[in-house]
């Protein structure tokens, strides 16, 4: 069924089987953004149905990130120890049950609890999908395959809010989570029947102490942290937007849930377009140049977002600023991660796990900021995005630019 590529730890799939695997792993990876984005247009419906404050509904986004941060650190080592398939199916089963729990929750606190469990289960598909790609392909083809998965993944934030708005208007918000549960159940069936176990090497015991030492070394590396900060900060700003935008757009800007879904989808399309622009820019510019320039642009966009948030009549400039801020994510992220991971060959998996955990941890704090400081205006969302823009710029000025200047000095 598979051909080895000369490396005993990886294999090459026949070309005839790559398309279905791209689609399957793309769908599995897309469960997390779908889970976040689909229910955003239903915030007001959830608030009214559960007779709670909107800030508690926003908190269900923040707590989701806790489950994602913890899950990524756990499912990675588990899939190394017990193989890919069993932890993946276990995580998907937990996601399915938690989605049912969300649909039938009668109070906001039970709903939030099931959201955390939903995230914890869903994180398995994100982490293990990437591990499966590393198992099946040699180094040369991993990046290309992940790029193809990213195209499938990029569709999720474009269509998810519109689907959620449609289901909410037609059947009610609970059917959003029933739809997610049904989709997961179908994927469980497909994975259990058709996806082979790809981790065929001897399963060794997990050495927690060794993993923790590796994390400690990475956190001390200025090169790694320097290029990680801009990506994590701008991504945290995106999640602040996700947490706050339903209230800002629907309540303050008086958009319908359907209009909100359209605007949200346009921003998702902008992120997808930015990833294609990045491919073109890489043909002429170095990743360091693209990353540095994009950090500055994202900071300027954050300044405008913060400034326009004080004026309720400047909706269009406010939306344009958000569009540019979010678009910079896919000009920063692939380049900063590629540069940050470049010195780490054998530790690439550990570095990726730490990145994922830090990413979702920052997302938790930025979205929590939006919920905690909710005051009936756009300021909490805009302020959080502004702070994230500042952190990204400081990471560039204090850590990245000195490295670039030192490199210029050494080459001159």
Number of domains in the chain: 2
Inside any domain, residue 136 = yes
> Of 178, 183, 156, 170, nearest to 45 (Cα)?
170
CATH number at residue 354: 1.20.1250.20
Q: Is 64 helix (H, G, I), strand (E, B) or coil?
A: helix
Structure tokens at 135: 């198992």
Q: Which of 156, 178, 198 is the last residue of a domain?
A: 198
Residue 1 within any structural domain of the chain: no
**Closest by CA position to 221, among listed 328, 307, 323, 339:** 339
Asked if residue 149 is part of any domain, the answer here is yes
If asked whether residues 225 and 173 sit together in one domain, one would say no
79: its two tokens: 């899939």
Same domain, 71 and 183: yes
Domain finish residue from 198, 229, 247: 198
Residues 187 and 241 in one domain: no
Among 198, 230, 250, give the residue marking a domain's end. 198
Q: Is residue 145 part of a domain?
A: yes
Same domain, 187 and 218: no
What backbone phi and psi angles, to 5 degrees, belong to 12? -110, 125
pTM as predicted: 0.74
My answer on whether 166 and 118 are in the same domain is yes
What is the C-alpha to C-alpha distance for residues 284 and 53, in angstroms, rounded to an integer? Answer: 50
Here the tokens at position 198 are 């790809």
182 shares its domain with 247? no
Q: Tell me, yes or no, whether 181 and 224 share the same domain.
A: no
Q: What is the pLDDT of residue 112?
A: 95
**Torsion over CA of 16, 21, 23 and 27, rounded to 10 degrees?**
170
Q: How far apart are the first and last CA of the chain?
A: 53
Domain assignment present for residue 7? The answer is: no
Give a three-class secondary structure readout of 148-194.
Answer: HHHHHHHHHHHHHHHHHHHHHHHCCCHHHHHHHHHHHHHHHHHHHHH
Inside any domain, residue 5: no
Q: Which helix (H) or strand (E) holds 4?
A: strand 3-4
For residues 141 and 214, membership in a common domain is answered with: no
Instruction: Kindly state the helix (H) or strand (E) to which residue 410 belongs, with its residue range.
Output: helix 401-411
| 193 and 226 co-located in one domain | no
- 315-327 helix and 287-308 helix, angle to the nearest 10 degrees: 160
User: Tokens 């569009």 belong to which residue?
Assistant: 323
pLDDT in tens, the chain (412 residues): 334 344 444 444 555 567 777 788 888 888 888 898 899 889 889 999 999 988 888 888 888 988 988 888 888 778 777 888 889 999 999 999 999 999 999 999 999 999 999 999 998 888 788 777 767 765 445 545 665 666 677 777 778 888 998 999 999 999 999 999 999 999 999 999 888 887 776 556 667 777 788 778 888 888 888 888 998 999 899 989 988 888 899 888 888 888 888 888 888 888 888 877 887 887 888 888 888 899 999 999 999 999 999 987 888 999 999 999 998 988 888 788 777 766 764 455 567 677 778 888 888 888 888 878 888 888 999 999 999 999 999 988 888 788 777 766 666 5
Beta carbons of 96 and 117 less than 8 angstroms apart? no
Residue 254 sits at φ, ψ, to 5 deg, of 60, 35
In this structure, the answer to whether residues 42 and 170 fall within a common structural domain is yes
Residues 289 and 350 in one domain: yes
101/170 same-domain check: yes
Q: Which domain holds residue 331?
A: 207-412
CB atoms within 10 A of CB 1: 7
If one counts every other C-beta atom within 10 angstroms of the C-beta of residue 402, the result is: 12
């Amino acid at each position: 069924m598979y051909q080895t590529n000369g490396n005993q730890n990886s294999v090459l799939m026949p070309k005839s089987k790559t398309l279905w695997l791209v689609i399957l792993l793309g769908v599995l990876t897309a469960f997390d953004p779908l889970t976040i984005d689909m229910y955003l247009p239903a915030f007001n419906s959830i608030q009214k149905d559960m007779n709670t404050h909107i800030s508690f509904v926003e908190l269900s986004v923040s707590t989701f990130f806790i489950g994602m941060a913890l899950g990524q650190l756990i499912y990675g080592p588990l899939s190394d120890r017990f193989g890919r398939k069993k932890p993946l199916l276990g995580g998907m089963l937990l996601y399915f049950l938690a989605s049912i729990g969300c649909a039938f929750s009668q109070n906001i606190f039970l709903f939030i609890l099931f959201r955390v469990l939903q995230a914890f289960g869903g994180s398995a598909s994100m982490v293990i999908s990437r591990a499966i790609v590393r198992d099946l392909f040699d180094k040369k083809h991993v990046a290309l395959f992940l790029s193809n998965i990213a195209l499938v993944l990029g569709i999720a934030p474009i269509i998810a809010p519109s689907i959620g708005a449609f289901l909410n208007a037609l059947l009610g918000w609970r059917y959003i989570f029933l739809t997610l549960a049904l989709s997961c159940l179908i994927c469980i069936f497909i994975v259990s029947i058709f996806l082979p176990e790809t981790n065929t090497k001897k399963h060794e015991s997990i050495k927690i102490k060794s993993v923790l030492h590796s994390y400690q070394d990475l956190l001390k590396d200025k090169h790694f942290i320097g290029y990680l900060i801009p990506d994590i900060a701008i991504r945290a700003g995106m999640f602040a937007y996700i947490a706050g935008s339903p209230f800002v757009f629907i309540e303050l800007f008086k958009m319908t849930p359907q209009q909100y879904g359209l605007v949200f989808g346009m921003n998702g399309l902008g992120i997808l377009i930015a990833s294609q622009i990045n491919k073109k820019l890489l043909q002429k510019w170095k990743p360091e140049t693209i990353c540095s320039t994009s950090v500055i642009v994202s900071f300027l966009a954050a300044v405008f977002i913060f400034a326009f948030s004080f004026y309720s009549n400047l909706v269009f400039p406010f939306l344009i600023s958000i569009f540019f801020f979010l678009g910079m994510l896919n000009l920063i992220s692939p380049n900063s991660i590629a540069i940050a991971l470049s010195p780490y060959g054998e530790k690439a998996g550990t570095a990726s796990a730490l990145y994922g955990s830090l990413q979702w941890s920052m997302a938790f704090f930025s979205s929590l900021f939006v919920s905690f400081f909710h005051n009936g205006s756009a300021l909490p969302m805009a302020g959080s995005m502004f702070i994230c823009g500042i952190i990204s710029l400081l990471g560039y000025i204090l850590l990245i630019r000195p490295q670039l200047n030192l490199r210029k000095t050494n080459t001159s």
